[in-house]
Amino acid sequence: MDGLTIAVLSAGAALLLAFVPIWVTFDSHLDGNARKLFFGVRLYGKLRLLGGYIEPRREGIAVHLSRKKALLVAYEKLLRTKPDLNKLHGFHLKEVLSVTETGAEAGNLLLAALLLCIGNAAGAAVRERCTVRSDVLISTGFRLTARLKVEFTLFAVLVLLIKLALEAFVAWKEERKSTTS
């Protein structure tokens, strides 16, 4: 093969990979008795990318990624950040499944009914094709299990990274301009 053929095939393969859909599944399990939120992130529902658990601490929220690694996020930092969902245009929610297990006490049943209504309202609000299912089980304690499936392409990730880089550059430029003035 000559160089031109290899270049054309490489460009074609790169374009194909940029627009092939990728599914990432976010699994979570909130255990009210243990006061922990266990989570896992899987590629195509099979390949484990990340996992661990989150627990509240006095200083902030501790995100445990392994037995030896943890990240502490201060409560003040969480309150200062505002999510900008406008950047997530290329990411599509495809599936939301939740199961709420709760005791038969009136307060727990009210919370379970509220979560069920929120889940159904969120499903009605999603305009694109998305499967939403919420179940409530009567048991002991309080547990909430949820699964979200998100579809995107590498092109959408690239666009998001470019937007973030441009915003960081503009913020740096404005900060530099204000300190030199």
Chain CA centroid to CA 144, Å: 16
**Joined tokens for residue 6:** 């290899």
Name the more confident of 90 and 147.
147
Residue-wise pLDDT tens digits, 70-100 = 888 888 877 776 777 677 777 888 888 888 8
Q: How far apart are CA 118 and CA 122, in angstroms?
A: 6
pTM to 2 decimals?
0.71
Q: Where are the domains of the chain?
A: 22-180
Q: How far apart are CA 50 and CA 24, in angstroms?
A: 11
Confidence of residue 27 (pLDDT cuts 50, 70, 90): very high
Is pLDDT above 90 for 128? no
User: Mean pLDDT over residues 52-76, rounded?
Assistant: 86
